[in-house]
Structure 1
Amino acid sequence: MTATSMHEWNRRLLLGCLCLSLAASVRLSVMSHSGGLITATVLPAVSFVVCFGLALSLWLANCSKKGEQLLICFLCLVGLLWQLAEAGDTSAARNGFQTAAFVGDVLSLLLLMHILEHYLSYWGLVWLPQSVKWIVSAPALGLLGTAAGLQIAGFPALRPAALLLMAALMALALAASAHVMIVSREAAYRPMLHVLLFGLLFSCAPALIGVVCTLNGVSSIPMPVLFPGLLPLLLAYLVCSERFMDLSFTLKHASYCALIAALPSVFISIVFYHVSAWGNLVADRSDVFVTGILMFLVLFFMLYIKQYLDYSLRKRLNAKQQDVQIALNRFLQWIENDDDLENIGPIIEREVENCLPVERAQLLVLGKEDEANPYFSYASRGDPGEITATQEGFRILLSESALGKIVLVAKWTRPRRRLNPDERVWLAALISYAQIVIENRANINDLMKNLEESAAQRAFVPMTIKKMMLRISERERFKWSRRLHDQNMQDQLDIARQLDAWGKESRDPQTKAMMVGFREQVLDGVYVLRQVINDLHPEFIYRTGLKKALLELFDKVNLRADFKLYGHVDDRLDGFQNVWDMAVYRVVQELLNNAQKHAQAHCVHLNLMKKNDRFMLTYSDDGIGLNVSAIGKSFGTMGLPGMIGRVEGMGGHLAIDSQPGSGLRISIQWTKKGAYA
Structure 2
Amino acid sequence: MKTWTYSIFLLYLVLGIYVLGIAIQTPFISITLDITNGQPVIVDPYYPQWAQQKNIEKGDIVVTIDGKPALENRSVQLDAVIRSANTLTIQKRDHTVHAITVKHRDIPEELYLQILFPIFYFLLAFVVALYLGYRNKNNVPMFLLTLFLLTCSLAYISTGASARGNFIGGIVIGVCIVLCMVLFIHFLQHFFHYQHIQWSYMHSKWLYLLPLIIPCCYIIEGFIPTMRALTPPLNLSLFALLVLYAIYILVTSYLRTKLAKLRLIAIAFIVPFLPFLLFFVTPEILGHNPLLHAEVAALFLLFIPFSFLFIQVNERLFDIEYQLSRLRYYSTLAFFSALLLTAGIALLFMGQLSIVHLTSIFLLVFMVILASFYIKERIDFKYRKIIFSSTGNYVHNLYAAVQRMGKAKTQQELLERFTYEITEKLGTTAFYIQTVTEENTTIKQQDNYTQLLLHDAGDEKIILEIRHALQKEELLWLELLALYVSMFINNLQLIEDLVREIQHMKNTSDTALPWLDKLLWNIIEKEKSILAQELHDTILQEQLHLARELDVLAESAVIRKERVLDIREQLLNASKDLREYCENLSPPLLDTFGLQMALKKLIQKIKIRADFLLTTHIERIHFQDATLHLVVYRLVQELFNNAIKHAEATEVSLQLQAIPHGFTLQYDDNGVGCDIEQLMQSSASMGINGIRERVRAFNGTITIQSSRNEGMHIFIQIQEDGDSYDEYIDYR
Structure 2 counterpart of 1:397, from 441, 453, 459: 453
Structure 1 counterpart of 2:23, from 22, 28, 31: 28
Q: How does 1:91-170 map to 2 (within 5 A)?
A: 93=165, 101-118=173-190, 123=194, 125=196, 128=199, 131-138=202-209, 141-142=212-213, 145=216, 149=220, 152-154=225-227, 156-170=229-243
* Aligned counterpart, 1:231: 304
**1:367-407 Cα deviation digits (max 9, x unpaired):** 47xxxxxxxxxx94xx624455637xx43233568734421
Asked if the contact 2:178/2:210 (under 8 Å) is kept, the reply is no
Offset, 1:254: 4.0
Offset, 1:251: 5.0
AA partner of residue 270 (structure 2): L
* CA 1:89–1:156: 2 relative to 1, 3 Å: closer
Tell me whether 1:384 sits opposite 2:442 in the alignment: yes
Identical aligned pairs, as a percentage? Answer: 17
* CA 1:138–1:472: 2 relative to 1, 3 Å: closer
SS of residue in 1 equivalent to 2:434: strand
Tell me whether 1:202 sits opposite 2:271 in the alignment: yes
Query: Considering only CA atoms, is the larger Rg found in Structure 1 or Structure 2?
Result: 1
Q: How does 1:617-656 map to 2 (within 5 A)?
A: none
* Aligned counterpart, 2:55: none
* Aligned counterpart, 1:607: none
SS of residue in 1 equivalent to 2:435: strand
Asked if the contact 2:19/2:160 (under 8 Å) is kept, the reply is no
1:244 and 1:62 map into 2 onto residues whose CA distance is: 12
AA partner of residue 24 (structure 1): V
1:24 and 1:259 map into 2 onto residues whose CA distance is: 35
1:360 and 1:270 map into 2 onto residues whose CA distance is: 52
2:325 and 2:402 map into 1 onto residues whose CA distance is: 30
Offset, 1:46: 0.8
Asked if the contact 1:384/1:397 (under 8 Å) is kept, the reply is yes
Q: How does 1:47-66 map to 2 (within 5 A)?
A: 47-57=121-131, 63-66=137-140
* CA 1:424–1:255: 2 relative to 1, 3 Å: farther
* CA 1:130–1:388: 2 relative to 1, 3 Å: same
Offset, 1:445: 12
* Aligned counterpart, 1:598: none
Tell me whether 1:220 sits opposite 2:267 in the alignment: no
**1:603-633 Cα deviation digits (max 9, x unpaired):** xxxxxxxxxxxxxxxxxxxxxxxxxxxxxxx
Tell me whether 1:318 sits opposite 2:388 in the alignment: yes
TM-score normalised over the length of structure 2: 0.48
* CA 1:205–1:76: 2 relative to 1, 3 Å: closer
* Aligned counterpart, 1:425: 476
2:180 and 2:10 map into 1 onto residues whose CA distance is: 18
Structure 1 counterpart of 2:416, from 346, 350, 361: 346
Structure 2 counterpart of 1:83, from 137, 157, 161: 157
* Aligned counterpart, 2:358: 288
Offset, 1:133: 1.3
Offset, 1:149: 4.4
**Count of aligned residue pairs for this structure pair:** 431
2:496 and 2:133 map into 1 onto residues whose CA distance is: 68
* CA 1:89–1:157: 2 relative to 1, 3 Å: closer
AA partner of residue 297 (structure 1): M
Offset, 1:354: 4.2
**1:61-82 Cα deviation digits (max 9, x unpaired):** 6923235655565454333333
Structure 1 counterpart of 2:403, from 330, 353, 356: 330
* CA 1:61–1:96: 2 relative to 1, 3 Å: closer
Q: How does 1:465-614 map to 2 (within 5 A)?
A: 467-468=514-515, 543=628
Asked if the contact 2:233/2:284 (under 8 Å) is kept, the reply is no
**1:509-557 Cα deviation digits (max 9, x unpaired):** xxxxxxxxxxxxxxxxxxxxxxxxxxxxxxx796589xxxxxxxxxxxx
1:267 and 1:62 map into 2 onto residues whose CA distance is: 40
Q: Which has the higher contact order (CA 8 A, sep 6+)?
A: 1
Asked if the contact 1:358/1:411 (under 8 Å) is kept, the reply is no
AA partner of residue 133 (structure 1): S
* CA 1:544–1:220: 2 relative to 1, 3 Å: closer
Asked if the contact 1:204/1:228 (under 8 Å) is kept, the reply is yes
2:517 and 2:145 map into 1 onto residues whose CA distance is: 63
Q: How does 1:407-422 map to 2 (within 5 A)?
A: 407-410=463-466, 419=471, 421=473
Moved more, 28-37 or 64-73: 64-73
Structure 2 counterpart of 1:173, from 246, 249, 252: 246
Q: How does 1:231-250 map to 2 (within 5 A)?
A: 231-239=304-312, 247-250=320-323
2:368 and 2:126 map into 1 onto residues whose CA distance is: 21
* CA 1:352–1:109: 2 relative to 1, 3 Å: same
Offset, 1:174: 3.5
1:235 and 1:148 map into 2 onto residues whose CA distance is: 35
2:383 and 2:495 map into 1 onto residues whose CA distance is: 43
TM-score normalised over the length of structure 1: 0.51
1:290 and 1:431 map into 2 onto residues whose CA distance is: 53
AA partner of residue 380 (structure 2): D
Asked if the contact 2:121/2:153 (under 8 Å) is kept, the reply is yes
SS of residue in 2 equivalent to 1:316: coil
Offset, 1:126: 5.5
AA partner of residue 167 (structure 1): A
* Aligned counterpart, 2:97: none
* Aligned counterpart, 2:372: 302
1:409 and 1:82 map into 2 onto residues whose CA distance is: 68
Offset, 1:60: 6.0
* Aligned counterpart, 1:670: none
AA partner of residue 448 (structure 2): T
Asked if the contact 2:192/2:198 (under 8 Å) is kept, the reply is yes
